[in-house]
Chains A and B, each alone.
Chain A
Amino acid sequence: AAGVIQSPRHLIKEKRETATLKCYPIPRHDTVYWYQQGPGQDPQFLISFYEKMQSDKGSIPDRFSAQQFSDYHSELNMSSLELGDSALYFCASSLVNEQFFGPGTRLTVL
């Protein structure tokens, strides 16, 4: 069965650089979520999209933005990166009850 695809899987950036994370949800899933998981932490909700419209917003810094495109893939754009942005970033998608996560993008900011 198709799963959520995320790219890249690993990303290394310098402080103040920008990063773009991509997510391809499971086909026909109508909702996409982004979560951030810091080292030793539980995942924290950032933002979600339902049918390409932003549906909810969590503790997402103003330096971050996201969108969902007509083909339902989503991108998380992160600017002016800080050391504290180093984390595992998950995209998840859902259609009915279950929420399936992608493998994550591990971002390291040096």
Chain B
Amino acid sequence: AQKITQTQPGMFVQEKEAVTLDCTYDTSDQSYGLFWYKQPSSGEMIFLIYQGSYDEQNATEGRYSLNFQKARKSANLVISASQLGDSAMYFCAMREGDAGGTSYGKLTFGQGTILTVHP
């Protein structure tokens, strides 16, 4: 079974508008971490945001916020005030067995969503 599902192969947004990229996950672990990465056409993998399963507040990093709905097992990324430079592939990823405060554990990625920002 797919552990991370990103159902939107591609998304389009107008510059300066907000956009939500969907991510659902499947795990039986009580402790896990959720990540979002941006991969521009140049290929590098840029860390955006992290949410721990026990974090009560939704994570925010500048224009990025993570809409974490634990009961629905969803971890959607919200990008506010989109910019042309936000056009890229976005990956959602999960680290299972996240023992809060430790780094141990591989990431499992979704298939990604290509975001295109129109001027």
Contacts and interface: CB of A to CB of B under 8 A. Distances in A.
Interface of A: 29-31, 33, 35, 42-45, 48, 50, 55-56, 58, 88, 90, 92, 94-101, 103-104, 106
Q: Which secondary structure characterizes the binding site on chain B?
A: loop
B45 interface: yes
Given A33-B107, A43-B107, 7 more contacts: A43-B109, A45-B108, A94-B103, A97-B50, A101-B37, A101-B44, A106-B43
How extensive is the interface on chain B, given as a class? Answer: 20 to 34
Given A42-B91, A42-B109, A31 B103 contact: yes
Interface of B: 33, 35, 37, 43-47, 50, 52, 91, 95, 98, 101-112
Q: Which secondary structure characterizes the binding site on chain A?
A: strand
Contacts, number: 61
